[in-house]
Chains A and B, each alone.
Chain A
Amino acid sequence: MTVVSMTVNGKPVSADVEARTLLVHYIREALGLTGTHVGCDTSQCGACVVHVNGRAVKSCAMLAGQAEGADVVTVEGLAKNGELHPVQKAFREHHGLQCGFCTPGMIMTAVDMIRRKPQLDEQTVREELEGNICRCTGYHNIVKAILAASEEMR
């Protein structure tokens, strides 16, 4: 067991966990932030995407210990003072979710994508979503939502 500490959604946190604990399990179980999801066991599906020190990361592919001292943002930390993030609003406005299970990871990937590439087009969005699998929406409205949010945030 080892004490792992970091900042999550702006708050300092600390928990005593087994050294092999993945970041996603630290977030879900030690911190009780269940918005980040586990959808696979090969780091392909992207349901677990969070931001670590400003970059989108698959939290299933990282040990909690590797995030020691890091600044982590999960989907629960996106809205500020009750105001939804433009990407969250866009997903609702454009029906970019159905069952909602892939959605937190999609949103976190989208926020990162828009940050890195302020001038997005449909083809680029589709390629950038390679690490996020959705079984419900067929991606059509997810792409619309991301393009709309990107437009609004420019």
Chain B
Amino acid sequence: MSDLSEQGVGKPVRRKEDFRFITGNGHYTDDISRPHQTHGYFLRSPHAHAKIRKIDTRAALAAPGVVAIFTGKDIAADKLGGLICGWTVHSKDGSAMKVGPHPVLALDTVRYVGDHVALVVAETHEAAKSAAELIEVDYDELPACVSLADCEKPGAPQLHPEAPRNTCFEWELGNKAETEAAFAKAAKIVKLDLVNNRLIPNAMEPRAAIGEYDKGTGGYTLHTTSQNPHVARLVLSAFVGVAPEHKLRVIAPDVGGGFGSKIFIYAEETACVWAAAKVGRPIKWTAERSESFMSDAHGRDHLSHAELALDANGKILGLRVKTIANLGAYLSTFSAAVPTYLYGTLLSGQYDIPAIYVEVDGVYTHTAPVDAYRGAGRPEATFLIERIVETAARETGLDPAEFRRRNFVRAFPHQTPVIMNYDAGNYDASLDKAMEIADAKGFAARKAEAARRGKLRGLGYSTYIEACGIAPSAAVGSLGAGVGLWESAEVRVNPTGNVEVLTGSHSHGQGHETTFAQLVSSRLGIPIDQIEIVHGDTDKVQFGMGTYGSRSGAVGMSAIVKALDKVEAKAKKIAAHLMEAAVEDIVFQEGRFTVQGTDKSLAWAEVSLAAYTAHGFPSNEIEPGLKEGAFYDPTNFTFPAGCHICEVEIDPETGVLEIANFVAVDDFGTIINPMIVEGQVHGGIAQGVGQALLELGVYDGESGQLVTGSFMDYCMPRADNVPSFRLGFTKTECPSNPLGMKGCGEAGAIASPPAIINAITDALGIRDIEMPATPARIWKAIQSSRPRAAAE
């Protein structure tokens, strides 16, 4: 592709990275084999809660092919730290969250089915797995609490002595007194109880790790399916203590999807890299899918009670919410932040709500740890506000679009009562456009036509806003984050003029190798095949915070812009020197440096070569070389917003639902590659359809077993569960970063579930239905809402 105008910002450039994936030449962690490697297999707890009296590994050690077996005692003897949560949340009484230790391998207690008990290292995966069956663990089974609603009650089985009533924190946010006052004078109060259903991320690539130790250099290398290799390295060195940072290389090669589940630092990669030094050979572990189900961090899992106070004209006066959020058995790396600062802060939605008060209890249960999953707190907030707003519209007899318009924020910047300050937006524009694409006006006729065929049609809206592009380091630091959320970029110009960009972002499907190259191509006027994007290796990229929270455009690309600014400035100095002109007279455009007002000019490649030959450079003014780095710290979150409209058609005989039309109109600010942005929206909506209609992570109340432990029992969306989507875009530029970009990666999953549930409740004429709204649930809802007379 040599036409530069088709390669720059705003163009639907086809992806550079695709060639290796479509030809089967990707390098995912399980594809990699290291010389003399062994295979690791984890023995996991079959019980939701038990004391470990004894672990007898003698028979297992004697099994064929076994090299070593490690338990929690071995790790403790080496004085390793446990796994951490990097965000500290405080309760209403000012006390810090209550955290029990999270050992890499269980010491005396197992706390969920799948909890890690031992690592078997053997010559083959089969040998390790067979040997694991010979390990005798003497468990004292204990009662378990897996039902979120019960675990805070007196008498519930306790997870951690540090957390009485299994309560990790009792957090609050908002203006409590103003909220009480608003409710006191409300003309109408609408109440709703909501369940945000537990989901299991299931990226298609199972987690994997290869730990290695070089006894000559004392250096460790870890290949891991991570969204953030530098964060993994920092946690493993500074908190777990496997190795000092400078002796630990972490590589995240091609990673097959993450959606948040590959942010966290887990027991498996920790144990493998530590044990590799003990064994003296690389240790490779790859999860079987059933292990992914049991031990990848799960998502969502909130129980909420919400109340909306209205005046006589449908204007919202206040919102109050009480949420119980499941944290699982241990705090995962990000977990405390998700149902607090990523949730409560979005409860204003697109609406001008003067008073909001939210209380969140974070509760431990004997289930897998719960942490960020696509949207991380914002789907939960959006579901709540869009369901209660829809309910309020119906109960006040107002059209749902009209109710929303009466409450939209229209003046910016807008300070909400829940920390977020919305910088720019136009919510009417996205609602208008979505209604047009969805032909909302024609819905009544389509509903009537469907009724003549015996089918029930419904229309549901979701006008969402979310906060992403995480995040200003000072802001998150003041809210309890242990890390800053800036991003880094280094632009290296080679003598021959091609460019390498080393980014702290990590692509596991987002297409950074293409989109980042588009940005550089636009700036430097060179073709994208002359630009290489390097990511995922702590030996190459000095430090980065990784990819999640829809941050790689807004934060990652802004870092590249800053580095490019520095490159351009130095290149101009060099060009000025070469052309014997003043640097202020140099114009850089379309890959050429020109002395203003003359025809003296140099090509990019001439300047890049000169940077490295450095002939005659005034040594106190220009250093040789052309390589610049930058760190970019965002000054605000970004606030993508928009409107989803879902139209469903339900067969009342079977409860089977068809999505007749799904429209999404989003404002993402500046768009680098519309093809990729649309793909992100498609994928997000499909995950939202999964949450709304299909998916549920279930633990059996009696046994604590994970009932939905495979793709047999957990319903992943397949191609015939989703329609083709109809997308549109509006634009208000983000004022807080150089490119005007807002994040786009999670919006689809955030906005869609309430649109779908609103459509179903509209179709059935009912107040509420729980997610997932399976055919069985829909059918039952129809039966219970049918008047008795119809049956007679």
Contacts and interface: CB of A to CB of B under 8 A. Distances in A.
Contact of A139 (B203, B204, B684, B686): B686
Chain A interface residue bracket vs B: 35 or more
A75 B23 contact: yes
Contacts of A137: 679, 682-683, 686
Interface in B708-730: 710-712, 716-720, 722, 724-725
A142 interface: yes
Interface in A28-69: 28, 33-42, 44-45, 47
B662 to A, nearest CB: 10
A23 interface: no
A25 B716 CA distance: 25
A45 B290 CA distance: 13
A154 to B, nearest CB: 21
A88 B23 contact: yes
Contact of A34 (B19, B24, B259): B24
Residue from B15, B28, B724 with most neighbouring chain A CB atoms (10 Å): B724
Chain B interface residue bracket vs A: 35 or more
A101 B205 CA distance: 6
A127 B720 contact: yes
A117 interface: no
A66 B22 CA distance: 27
Interface string A61-104: 00000000000001110110000100010011101011111111
B354 interface: no
Interface in A110-153: 122-123, 125-127, 129-130, 132-143
B398 interface: no
A4 interface: no
A145 to B, nearest CB: 10
A46 B724 CA distance: 21
Contacts of A78: 23
Nearest to B258: A99
17 contacts: A35-B26, A37-B30, A37-B204, A44-B711, A47-B204, A76-B25, A84-B23, A93-B14, A95-B679, A99-B254, A100-B22, A101-B256, A130-B720, A137-B683, A138-B686, A138-B717, A139-B722
Given A35-B23, A41-B290, A130 B718 contact: yes
Interface stretch (B211-219, B387-395, B508-516, B629-637): B508-516
A100 B705 CA distance: 32
B379 interface: no
A84 B24 CA distance: 12
A100 B27 CA distance: 10
A143 B679 CA distance: 13
B31 interface: yes
A107 interface: yes
A18 interface: yes
Interface of B: 14-15, 17-26, 28, 30-31, 126, 201-206, 254-257, 259, 286, 288-290, 508-511, 675-676, 678-679, 682-687, 710-712, 716-720, 722, 724-725, 748
A108 B257 CA distance: 20
B720 A100 contact: no
B678 to A, nearest CB: 8
B682 A99 contact: no
B24 A35 contact: yes
Contact of B203 (A20, A99, A123): A99
B711 A140 contact: no
B719 A129 contact: yes
Contacts of B289: 39-42, 45
Chief secondary structure at chain A's binding surface: loop
B686 A75 contact: no
A45 B18 contact: no
Contacts of A37: 28, 30, 204-205, 256
Contact of B682 (A36, A93, A130, A141): A141
A103 B402 CA distance: 44
Contacts of B290: 41
Contacts of B286: 38
B716 A99 contact: no
Chief secondary structure at chain B's binding surface: loop
Contacts of A102: 204, 256
A51 to B, nearest CB: 13
A148 to B, nearest CB: 13
A110 to B, nearest CB: 11
Contact of A133 (B255, B682, B712, B716): B716
Given A38-B30, A41-B288, A76 B719 contact: no
B361 to A, nearest CB: 31
Given A92-B22, A135-B683, A42 B711 contact: yes
Interface of A: 18, 20, 28, 33-42, 44-45, 47, 74-76, 78-79, 84, 88, 91-93, 95, 97-104, 107, 122-123, 125-127, 129-130, 132-143
Contact of B24 (A33, A45, A93, A98): A33
A142 B719 contact: yes
A42 B712 contact: yes
B710 A135 contact: no
B256 A129 contact: no
Given A39-B206, A137-B679, A45 B257 contact: no
Contact of A125 (B14, B206, B712, B719): B719
A39 B204 contact: yes
Contacts of B718: 129-130, 132-133, 139
A97 B675 CA distance: 11
Contacts of B722: 138-140
Contacts of B17: 100
Nearest to B205: A101
A98 B509 contact: yes
Contacts of A91: 18, 22
Given A92-B14, A99-B204, A136 B257 contact: yes
Given A41-B288, A103-B22, A98 B510 contact: yes
A143 B28 CA distance: 25
B673 to A, nearest CB: 9
A136 B509 contact: yes
A33 B586 CA distance: 53
A98 B510 CA distance: 6
A132 B711 CA distance: 12
B256 A95 contact: no
A113 to B, nearest CB: 11
Contacts of B24: 33-36, 74-76, 104
Contact of B711 (A18, A20, A40): A40
Contacts of B257: 98-99, 101, 135-136
Residue from A75, A100, A101, A125 with most neighbouring chain B CB atoms (10 Å): A100
B204 A98 contact: no
A95 B14 contact: yes
Nearest to B681: A138
A20 B153 CA distance: 50
B711 A126 contact: no
B224 to A, nearest CB: 16
The 9 A-B residue pairs whose C-beta atoms are closest, nearest first, are A35-B24, A101-B256, A100-B21, A99-B509, A138-B686, A138-B682, A98-B509, A34-B31, A75-B24
Residue from B23, B28, B511, B748 with most neighbouring chain A CB atoms (10 Å): B23
Nearest to B712: A42
A84 B22 contact: yes
Given A91-B18, A99-B508, A42 B710 contact: yes
A35 B41 CA distance: 23
B29 to A, nearest CB: 11
B714 to A, nearest CB: 10
A17 to B, nearest CB: 11
B456 to A, nearest CB: 21
B711 A95 contact: no
A93 B22 CA distance: 11
Contacts of B679: 95, 98, 136-138, 140-141
Contact of B683 (A28, A35, A127, A138): A138
Contacts of B254: 99-100
B676 A100 contact: no
Contacts of A92: 14-15, 18-19, 22
